[in-house]
Amino acid sequence: MSVLDDIIAGVAEDLEARRQAVPLKQMRERARAAAPALDAFAALGGNDNPRGELRVIAEVKRSSPSKGALADIADPASLAASYERGGAAVISVLTEQRRFGGSLADFDAVRDVVRIPLLRKDFTVDEYQIWEARAHGADLVLLIVAALDDAQLKDFLALTHELGMNALVETHTQHEVERAVAVGARIIGVNVRNLKTLDVDRSVFAPLADSIPSGALVIAESGVRDAADVEQYAADGANAVLVGEALVRHNDPAATIADFAQTGRKAIAARQMHGKD
């Protein structure tokens, strides 16, 4: 069993317990009563937003399967507020508990204090989780291509759009990029971490980013240690970077976000000057 398979098995078990507590019909009613979702696509540089800016998706992340405990985040809302002050375009909140130490309570705490789009970061394997995300005020959900078959990917993406949300469709291989494009994904993440082994290979980003159509936004996921990594991702075609560990371990995450955005802006300008866009 791969690491991804093991995580999904735990997610499915925890999901069933929540479904028993709040049946799907009731969760749908809560989702429909929630305030309308914010436009994460626009926030990440889509629509008519000015080009040449690198957006940062800043993540509230306590731990990970590869690194173990990362930070003791006693107040996720305060951390998220600092992300917003630093200029984050979107805030990602881990809600998977077993491997990442997250929860929907963390998500709710962050939703109460920030006014920018929120990504509910979890392993989506059932439509219940999409309704649940919307009920809790999510604007964006994660769909991992490696965890879904084509029918699920298509149906889950359609449901997110039906509920007024966007989906970050995560890929790691050329075939997964092709599958994401085939279902009409508009926000495509390239995760340089192989979720089946947890190995990181930053070299996979550039060729996959280059194969994503110009109408979609390209998000670089994982592997950001410092501004040099951000610069390389931006130079290789990223519209945004998703950063967790480098922020939760920094004593001034707001300043780090601002630095990453400025570094990315310069790299994109250089890329455009050399006619690569």
Catalytic center residues = 59, 61, 121, 170, 191, 221-222
Cα angle 182, 183, 185 (rounded to 5 degrees) comes to 100
Altogether, the residues listed in the chain come to a count of 277
CA distance 64 to 228: 23
Q: What is the CA radius of gyration of the chain?
A: 17
Alpha helices in 87-126 (DSSP H): 104-111
Cβ(190)–Cβ(207) below 8 Å: no
- Residues 108-135 as b/e (b if ≥16 CB within 10 A, e otherwise) read ebbbeebebbbbbbbbbbbbbbbbbbbb
> For the chain, give me the number of helices (H) and strands (E)?
12, 10
Give the side-chain half-sphere CA count within 13 A for 92: 28
Backbone torsion region of residue 101, taken as left when φ is above 0, otherwise alpha when ψ lies between -120 and 50, otherwise beta: left
- The label of the residue with tokens 């291989």 reads 173
CA dihedral 106→109→115→117, nearest 10 degrees, is: 20
CA distance 258 to 277: 24
DSSP string, 200-241: B-GGGHHHHHHTS-TTSEEEEES---SHHHHHHHHHTT-SEE
